[in-house]
Structures are given as C-alpha cells and as structure tokens.
Amino acid sequence: MNDTTWVWQYDQRIPSDPKSGVDAIRVLLEQLEQREWPAKCVFGIHMAMEEAVMNAIKHGNKRDPSKHVHVLVNLSETQFHACITDQGQGFNPDDVPDPTLDENLEKTSGRGLMLISNFVDTVTYNDVGNSVELVKHKQV
C-alpha cells in the first residue's frame, strides 16, 4: 500500500479553547492506539499535536471565541500527516528564542516549537506563519 493512501481522516474546525484542543487530540490518539501504532510514535505525535494545537489556540487565535482552528489529520498505514491552521497574524519561527540556551532555560515559555520539531519527522510552516504541517512515519 502506498504510504499516502489515507485510511483515516479528521477534518474539523474547533473553537479556540484548550479543552476543544484536548478533545480533538484524544480522538486522534484513540485511532493511533486502535491501529496499533508503537507507543513511542504515539507519544511523539501526541506531544507535537498538543504543542501545535495549543499554540494555535493560545498564541495564534489568542483564545478569541470568534476564531477557530482548522485541524486536519490524515493517517495511512505508515504515515501521520497533520495541518493545523489558526486565524491569527502568524509568526516567524526563527524569531522564537532558543529555549535550550542557559539564559532561557528557566523561562516558562518557548519550548513548544522545539518539542514539535524533536518529536515528528518533518515540520513545515507556511509563509504567513499561521499554519504548520507535521509528518511522522511509523517506526516499528
């Protein structure tokens, strides 16, 4: 089977509140577990989705109830693909301070992007910076 023959899709516009984000991620996690993705992969996808969706809700849409976050997820037998888009102004990922520098280590923000890039295989932002695409391949 082709790596991008999708066998499951989630395509929802969710409200800009963290609870809705958690609920959306929970649906995805149930699918991954039902489809017997390895625990380490599920953890990585969970981490990346949690950070990406919460960034969109909190920093992108600033929890504005009039805005939504578009969460699109496709699963093939061997690949996870997601696109998370908010209705905010966007941002430049290069402007986010490196959280691993000594002076930033004890700050309580700025770790999300680093975690996303460490836990999935590919992270791509659009030019505006209000949409992020995540890809992870199943590793058995």
Partner 1 sequence: MGQFECIESYEVDKVSVVKFVDEKVMDPGRIEQLGKELLSLTDEETKPNLLINFENVRFFSSQAINKLIVLDKRVKAGGGQIRLSNLRPEVRDLFNYTNLDSVFVIRDEEAEAIDSFEQD
> Pick from 76, 61, 74, 75: which is nearest to 21 by CA?
61
Measured from the Cβ of residue 139, the count of other Cβ atoms closer than 10 Å reads: 11
Which two three-digit tokens encode residue 55? Answer: 């960034």
> Pick from 119, 117, 112: which is nearest to 97 by CA?
112
Kindly tell me which residue out of 15, 90, 99, 129 binds partner 1, with binding defined by CB under 8 A: 99
Kindly tell me which residue out of 28, 54, 69, 132 binds partner 1, with binding defined by CB under 8 A: 54
Our finding on whether 50 is near partner 1 (CB under 8 A) is yes
* CB closer to partner 1 out of 101 and 128: 101
Kindly tell me which residue out of 18, 64, 133, 135 binds partner 1, with binding defined by CB under 8 A: 18
Our finding on whether 46 is near partner 1 (CB under 8 A) is yes
> Pick from 20, 16, 107: which is nearest to 60 by CA?
16
Enter the DSSP assignment of 140: -
Q: At 12, is the secondary structure helix, strand, or coil?
A: strand
Angle separating helix axes 39-55 and 112-119, nearest 10 degrees: 150
* CB closer to partner 1 out of 44 and 128: 44
- Total residues interacting with partner 1, rule: CB under 8 A: 25
Our finding on whether 112 is near partner 1 (CB under 8 A) is yes
Binding residues for partner 1, per CB under 8 A? 18-19, 22, 25, 39-40, 43-44, 46-47, 50-51, 54, 99-100, 105-109, 111-112, 114-115, 118
